[in-house]
């Protein structure tokens, strides 16, 4: 309907402003129903170029609108807003549209190129160091990242999900010496245990598996422990593989799948870091000072230049990030989105500067970043800080075991990523309307129950709801529900544009509220056949949109509660 109105407006406006760009036409939904179904400020936009009063221009636009069956009334409000009131038939069209499109309702072609083909986008998320189980912060990244991938897929992009393992550096060294100490029987409480070592119970598990020459399989690798406590490299490779496998299990429990796993160590072993550094030197954006190699990041908006190669010959941590993202560019991704913790904020400018300095055509501002804030877990009004398994933090698997996958995914994705999140375990476990994920799933289950009863009464041959006569849908609850359903496609489009899955979560709460209000006020399996079929069509369409939205969040649309 929004597209139809935009086309009508474009036709009318071009009769008085032939050079109008149709893309400049904006239609909004008024907050109050008394102001119509849609509103536009087009007259005020044209006022400057036409040098006329906006209200006068609004009058001309209304007069020039082509004859149509959609608009029953227009009015000019305020400084020159045009409000549109739609016919009942126009509002009802959404029910037919949803039942016809089914699971494709809400999808769009935002990610298509000029030839109508999906463009390649990569979403990198989680990307945890393989030094321990995934914690709730990783869980938030997993939920947001996976929802982003689902949103982009629904918006016509060719999506690749990628996990980048930081399997090199000081933290891996600390992991290795921690496992070595436990292999030697040194308690985590003993003074000789490494000061920067990891002390969770999982370190004991790795050491025990190493000493018994266990074999682990993670993604594309298989490692068998040698059991030799004098072989540091053997301990390192086994510990990393062991924790990669553990993280795989965490992600499987969270119903997250990846298309590609990349290793930081491979960037070094395959010479990609060295190749990137050489390319930066050749581009002329580096210099040497105090026996170190520097990158002129100030040429690209940074507040100061950054060291690339230290005096000891080692590279600073952002250099492999530049190499990794250069490799992404060469893989043909038009767009790259990194979902990471807020602690990565300081790396954004220097990574982008490094990519710009390569002079290979990478656009400014590439890649995109979505940074999530910390998660505080509460139970019984008190913060939960420790895990029996990890020792120093609450793990993702702890949370899943406490409240289930659906509640965990919903709660972690339901707030803006850049806002701090309080995860209330008690609330997530309740089966009341105060729990938003229960409230939404219950709305879906209620509809399933009604439709199942109807199917049983119809002896398995129900009238097709797709072609139902919808004219009986006239009461306020029905109008409000149809209005909400019609907002879903633009909600999906906006959520994808803003990289904001929480927009979908908020929409679903509002849709569930509309459904529950309607359900509590009216009966559906009534004697009046025309009204019954129309209402069943409406709730069937609502069921489909609830399911489509829950799918974008990776939450199950339950048929029974």
Residues 80 and 179 in one domain: no
Measured distance CA(127)–CA(134) in Å, rounded: 10
pLDDT of residue 386: 76
Task: Tell me, yes or no, whether 9 lies in a domain.
Answer: yes
DSSP conformation letters of 243-259: HHHHHHHHHHHTT---S
Helix (H, G, I), strand (E, B) or coil at 174: helix
Residue where a domain terminates, one of 51, 68, 86: 86
Residue where a domain terminates, one of 86, 121, 150: 86
Helix (H, G, I), strand (E, B) or coil at 119: coil
Task: Tell me, yes or no, whether 70 lies in a domain.
Answer: yes
pLDDT of residue 522: 97
User: Could you give the number of structural domains in the chain?
Assistant: 3
Measured distance CA(180)–CA(302) in Å, rounded: 41
Query: Distance of alpha carbon 239 from its chain centroid, rounded?
Result: 31
Token pair recorded at residue 240: 């990393």
Task: Tell me, yes or no, whether 427 lies in a domain.
Answer: no
Stated pTM of the model: 0.91
Q: Indicate if the alpha-carbon torsion angle 471, 474, 477, 480 is positive or negative.
A: positive
DSSP conformation letters of 79-111: TTEEEEEE-HHHHHHHHHHHHHHGGGTT---TT
Contacts of 29 (CB under 8 A, 6+ apart): 37, 38, 39, 483, 487
Task: Tell me, yes or no, whether 10 lies in a domain.
Answer: yes
Helix (H, G, I), strand (E, B) or coil at 260: strand
Taking 50 as the pLDDT cut, the residues of the chain under it are none
pLDDT of residue 388: 66
Contacts of 79 (CB under 8 A, 6+ apart): 44, 54, 55
Measured distance CA(156)–CA(111) in Å, rounded: 5
Task: Tell me, yes or no, whether 252 lies in a domain.
Answer: yes
Measured distance CA(298)–CA(291) in Å, rounded: 20
Residues 440 and 539 in one domain: yes
Residues forming a β-bridge with 370 = 339
DSSP letter, residue 300: G
Residue where a domain terminates, one of 32, 62, 86: 86
Residues 74 and 180 in one domain: no
* Residue appearing with tokens 């406490």: 402
Task: Tell me, yes or no, whether 325 lies in a domain.
Answer: no
- Asked if residues 300 and 359 have their Cβ atoms less than 8 Å apart, the reply is no
Sheet with 375-379, edge to edge strand ranges: 382-384, 375-379, 421-424
Residues 441 and 548 in one domain: yes
- Asked if residues 171 and 267 have their Cβ atoms less than 8 Å apart, the reply is no
* Residue appearing with tokens 């803003």: 498
Task: Tell me, yes or no, whether 296 lies in a domain.
Answer: no
The CATH number of residue 517's host domain is 1.10.730.10
Task: Tell me, yes or no, whether 153 lies in a domain.
Answer: no
Strands 375-379 and 421-424: parallel
Measured distance CA(231)–CA(223) in Å, rounded: 14
Residues forming a β-bridge with 122 = 160, 336
* Residue appearing with tokens 């796993």: 261
Report H helices in 30-169.
Answer: 42-50, 54-64, 88-101, 136-154
pLDDT of residue 387: 74
DSSP letter, residue 117: P
Measured distance CA(284)–CA(359) in Å, rounded: 10
* Phi, psi torsion values for 123, nearest 5 degrees: -115, 115
Q: What is the domain range of residue 55?
A: 2-86
Determine whether 337 is exposed, middle or buried from the number of CB atoms within 10 Å of its CB (0-12, 13-18, 19+): buried
């Amino acid at each position: 309907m929004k597209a139809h109105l935009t086309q009508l407006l474009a036709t009318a406006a071009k009769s008085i402003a032939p050079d109008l760009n149709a893309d400049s036409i904006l239609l909004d939904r008024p907050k109050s129903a008394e102001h119509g179904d849609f509103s536009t400020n087009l007259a005020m936009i044209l006022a400057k170029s036409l040098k006329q009063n906006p209200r006068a221009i609004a009058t001309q636009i209304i007069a020039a609108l082509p004859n149509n069956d959609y608009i029953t009334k227009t009015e000019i409000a305020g400084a020159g807003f045009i409000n549109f009131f739609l016919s009942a038939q126009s509002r009802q069209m959404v029910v037919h549209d949803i039942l016809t499109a089914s699971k494709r309702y809400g999808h769009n072609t935002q990610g298509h190129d000029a030839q109508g083909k999906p463009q390649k986008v990569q979403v990198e998320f989680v990307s945890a160091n393989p030094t321990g189980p995934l914690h709730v912060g990783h869980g938030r990244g997993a939920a947001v990242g996976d929802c982003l991938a689902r949103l982009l897929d629904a918006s016509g992009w060719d999506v690749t999900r990628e996990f980048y393992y930081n399997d090199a550096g000081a933290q891996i060294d600390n992991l290795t010496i921690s496992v070595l100490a436990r292999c030697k029987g040194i308690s985590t409480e003993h003074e000789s245990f490494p000061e920067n070592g990891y002390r969770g119970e999982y370190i004991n598990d790795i050491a025990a598996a190493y000493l018994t020459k266990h074999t682990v399989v993670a993604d594309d690798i298989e490692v068998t422990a040698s059991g030799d406590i004098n072989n540091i490299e053997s301990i390192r490779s086994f510990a990393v593989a062991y924790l990669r496998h553990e993280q795989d299990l965490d992600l499987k429990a969270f119903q997250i799948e990846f298309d590609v796993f990349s290793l930081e160590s491979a960037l070094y072993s395959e010479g990609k870091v060295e190749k990137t550094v050489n390319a930066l030197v050749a581009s002329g954006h580096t210099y040497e000072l105090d026996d170190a190699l520097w990158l002129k990041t100030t040429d690209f908006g940074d507040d100061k230049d950054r060291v690339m190669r230290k005096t000891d010959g080692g590279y600073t941590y952002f250099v492999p990030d530049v190499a990794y993202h250069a490799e992404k560019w060469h893989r043909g991704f038009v767009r790259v989105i990194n979902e990471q913790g807020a602690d990565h904020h300081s790396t954004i400018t220097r990574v982008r500067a490094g990519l710009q300095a390569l002079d290979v055509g990478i656009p400014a501002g590439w890649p995109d970043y979505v940074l999530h804030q910390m998660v505080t877990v509460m139970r019984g009004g008190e913060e939960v800080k420790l895990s029996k398994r990890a020792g120093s933090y609450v793990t993702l698997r702890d949370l899943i075991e406490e409240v289930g996958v659906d509640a965990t995914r919903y709660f972690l994705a339901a707030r803006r990523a850049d806002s701090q999140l309080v995860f209330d375990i008690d609330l997530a476990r309740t089966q009341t309307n105060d729990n938003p994920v229960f409230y939404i799933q219950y709305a879906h289950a209620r509809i399933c129950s009604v439709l199942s009863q109807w199917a049983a009464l119809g002896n398995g041959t129900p009238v097709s709801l797709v072609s139902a006569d919808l004219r009986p849908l006239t009461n306020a609850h029905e109008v409000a529900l149809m209005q909400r359903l019609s907002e879903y496609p633009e909600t999906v489009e906006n959520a994808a544009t803003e990289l904001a899955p929480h927009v979908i979560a908020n929409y679903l709460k509002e849709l569930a509220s509309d459904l529950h209000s309607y359900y509590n006020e009216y009966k559906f399996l009534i004697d009046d056949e025309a009204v019954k079929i129309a209402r069943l069509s409406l709730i069937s369409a609502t069921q489909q949109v609830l399911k489509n939205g829950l799918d974008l969040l990776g939450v199950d649309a339950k048929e029974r509660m």
